Structure 1
Amino acid sequence: MAWLWKRLSGWQQDQVEAAAKTELARLEGLLTLPGGAPRLLADRLTDRLAETGGEAMVTGPYGWLIRRGLAQRHSCTDQRCNDGTRLDTGSECENCGTVVHIRRARRAKTAAQLDRELPGLSDEERRRVVEERLREQAAREAEVSAARREEAHVQQARRDEARAAGQKRAERERAAAAAADAVRQAQACEDCGQQQAAGLCEACGYRRRTEALIVEAGMVAATWSADLADQDAVAAVAADVRAALEREVAAMHARYLSATDQAAQNEDPTGFAAALAYGALQTVEEALPEFRRSALNRLGRTEEADAEARGAYKTEQNRRWFQHNPNGADAVAAATKAADRARERTARHLLAVRLEVLRELAAAQPRKNPDAPWSSRLPEIAARPLDGIASGAVFA
């Protein structure tokens, strides 16, 4: 092998060295245990030289090394196969045996078909025709395989094109979304006029949620304490609920103001206002479940709930496993439990239905005296001192 290497030019030696390194890396990827690639490649070169007849029979060292000495010869489709031997195990390639079996079966089938079509052929003519038909069949299969590969390439190109188009479309959408978000972020708060507030500043967002919860609490209280057909009665209940919640919010504001020094308030007035608004939201959120529990308790004592409870009690008491002793402890306990579930279920249904009625009435009734926007109320609020009495102004 050293004699062949000396016959190569400097450029050819570089190319052969690069090809050998590439083949070594590929072999390492096929082997189970690392470190065996150099031995395999050396054995391959030795075997190929023996097939050729020795170094003296190699007339073109560069071409022989690149195209024959270093190249792996696949006898089948298995990438680990080299001349019918498994590179990873050194044993005979099982896939090659399958290929040989298929080729033999194909030859036998072609020969049998030829015997049926032309039974009088001589042995030599028969072999010639069989070989010709096998070559034609192999050529057709090669054409089909080439067509399939071409179709696969076309499909892959289409997928790549669609993927690239999708990426470009996604980039355009992201750019458009970023531009729209930048425009939105630059908008002033529509309630208080604060600049760069994305249309609604943090404090006003809390105030809106607080206002919605106050309205919801008023409706929940009205479901059991007011005639839903009497709008004045509903409005009076809502006003009482609002006044009660605003008192709680004002007390919370007073506690917060007393715990915060004036310097901290003046250092970040925007953040301080947001903190007060968030405190108001938390206060109302904590109060709303109590309004719902109270409503369910009152609605659970209505005639409808009583009727459902009595019906559930009787139904459970009359079940066949209690018929022998309908007034026994087990029967009474089960019937009481069923009645309680029916009462709770009816109360929740009544609450949902009555809230829906109140929401529809509120949506259909136009606001006669809308509140002044925050932008017009800010000068008045800014002029007020930040003490316990004026703290309710931040919640409003």
Structure 2
Amino acid sequence: MNEPLALSPAMHTVLASAVHSLLKDPRLTGRSDLVRLAAVVLLAKAPSGSAVVDMSSRDVGGWLGCSLSHVGHTAVPGLKATDAVLCRPNRTDEGRTEGLRLELLPLREARAAADGSPLAMLTKRELATLLRFCEAVTCPGWSPSGKAETPAGFMAHRRGRGAPTDRLAMVLLSLEARTDGRVRMAPGRVPQGFRRADATVARLLNCAVEAAAMVVDRLVAAGHVELEDTKRPGGERLRVPAVAAAHARVRQSVALEAAASASPVAEAEAAGQGPCSRCTDAENEAETDSESEAAGMALSGDGWAQESLEDVLLTADACAFGDQPTEHTANPQVSRGSKNQPDKAVCADLHTAHTPVAALSGFSAGDREVFSGSAVEGRGRRRGRACAGEDSAGADAPRPRTGRTETGADPLRGDKPEKLPGRSTGTGGARFLRAAAVPQDLAEALAPVAHLWTGITRLSTVKWLAKAVRAELVRLSGIVGPELALRALAARLTRRLDGQGPHAVRQLVGWLLHRGLPQRSGCWSFLCDDGYRLDTGDPCESCACLIDDRRSVRRSIAATVDVQLATASPRLRLAEVERRLREAHRAKAAADQALRHERETQNRAQAQAQDQKQDQDLRRAAAQRRRQELAATEAAHAAMACRECGLPDTAGECPVCAFRKRTDELIGQAVDLVVALRVDSLDLRAVAEMTSRVEQDTRTVIERAHARAQTADSSADPGVRAHEVQQLAAKLLAQRRHWALQRLAESEPADEAAERAYQVALRRTHWNATPEKRREAAEKAAVSARQCVAQDLLTEFLTDLSRARANLAVPPERVPWKERLAKLASGDQAQPHALRPVRRRTVA
């Protein structure tokens, strides 16, 4: 049955963990509910192989419950601001924008890390289930042509202000809901004036309780959420009816399928078309065929499986669920009432309908007025009915098959015979013992309570308690040694039992764990236990000293009271002594606490100072290590030889080679200025020839200028000469740039721009300015416009030249004429990027 909201327990855990892991991402924490709901939708729609989702703005608005304008102005910018979603337009090959291409970065990073996070563990099946779940909650719904229709979610009508918050809350509540639709409520104290449901929604949405209360009110008013038990303060229940209805439909579908696949006898019995085989089979036939039928029973599990009463009643066609049959067709298991009672029964028939999946056994109790059916796997001597003494030695002997108990009364259906002590109740339950013996290794230690140990009836409890006793023995062995540990524990248990007085020990387990085993020191000594030493068993001297000190204080206070209140009655003096003793005890406890607090403060301060010193030492060591690493790196870099000439200790490049490299760059820029203005960039051969000729001429000009600048006092150092050549190349580049800008400023586009700027400046000049000032301002604007156009034209010419150089460096691919004609016939005339044509611009 297709119920997206009815998740299995395993799928429920996986999806809830993945969604909460996504919302706990630091990039989504504190963001708006619109952005977080969009992230959940992207997770649901993400494919199993990537984290990229293509959606249109209309679809995004339908999922989030907002308009297209809100998607463009709020949702998409919000997703970009989180750094958790990459959002870019999805364009076709023609450049037309079709929608949005969204990539969920937390999902991509989790899959790349493969660290076992819930997002990384999502499979294709789980992602599809999450998508169907989100569709059932917040999908806008659509009906594509030729495909199955996707119905709208039950939150699709919620649009406008606050819709993303309500939709996100319903997605999280539906993920947290159990099979009955109830949501586990948030524990702890609830702020005054709010409900526990408000605190639960606030915990899920990570928002304030005030905002969550408004969300709960809106969901309750819309009927998507129900509040139960609202009369009890703080005890209300939050229920999602849609989830409960989905699980109910699944259970009903399973029950109907089980009824449809049942045997013909069971179908006839469920429909009321035939009598019950348990009530009509003869007793002798049941005893004869019991073993053969038991071998063919199809039972499941460790013992057996039976459907619930509601599932069985759903498959019955004779009556509706919960109705009572009108005819009295079976023997009742209670009193039949008075003789004047009419034939029509006024009470429900206590003989329940049989499950359609359990085969009927001839050796069952179906023909008796007791339990019906057989609940034993395989053969055994307890296949009939449960009665007293069936585990006795004579179990194989025939027993009377009466339907009465030892008291002589008929047991009601559902009543269980009283369990005998020390007897097992089945193979799958707890194991009971008739008498639990004390473990041999603990016999000496547990000798004082050996008579109480036999009262423990569970083997698991015996093992658990013996483990706790052995742990205490291990602790005592570390204090007094293994040879005295058993004796010390036995002496402790004897003292504790004697201290019970007339009160007997009723629960040995609790008494041992809370009274018998714990050590109670009366003083500072770790050997003291109830005022006795563990090693020798003698009274503790430290406890005696403490007792003497307390007695001395009491005597001192009593003597002082007798002197001060000599005329008072003994009762008043005793009350005054007790009061002063309490005050003295409080004062001493306060002093001890202050001393402990002071010592703890000192220890904490010393620990903090030591930690700070260690941190400082670590930081100093790290800084020193970093300085040494940097120094070593710099030394290694400085020791590198020149990559051009091989000169050692030049950090990879000597001054001469560096100047020559810079000179070559300047010469190349100067050559580009000339070639860009004089050659058509579409003519690649002319570009190559002009570049070679101008570069040779430029180098010749620089060499001649440098030779003329040489004098007798000039230095012969190669570095100095290379620097001088670089300076000459820079000066030549500046001259050529100035010349190029002048030529371009005199061009026709520059003249047009200057004229427009001149006219605009004349019109924009202040009204009270003189004609001379207006003319000066207009001329300045014209000159500025002319320079701007010249600069733009020069930049454009250089760009065209660089593209031509790129085409020159990568020769065009020769395509056969057949392929070129086929492309032209198909209309695909797009050229490669390397062969993109440039505009022809030259300056005479």
> If the length of structure 1 is used for normalisation, what is the TM-score?
0.49
Task: Give the structure with the higher percent helix.
Answer: 1
Which structure has the greater CA radius of gyration? 2
- TM-score normalised by the chain length of structure 2: 0.25
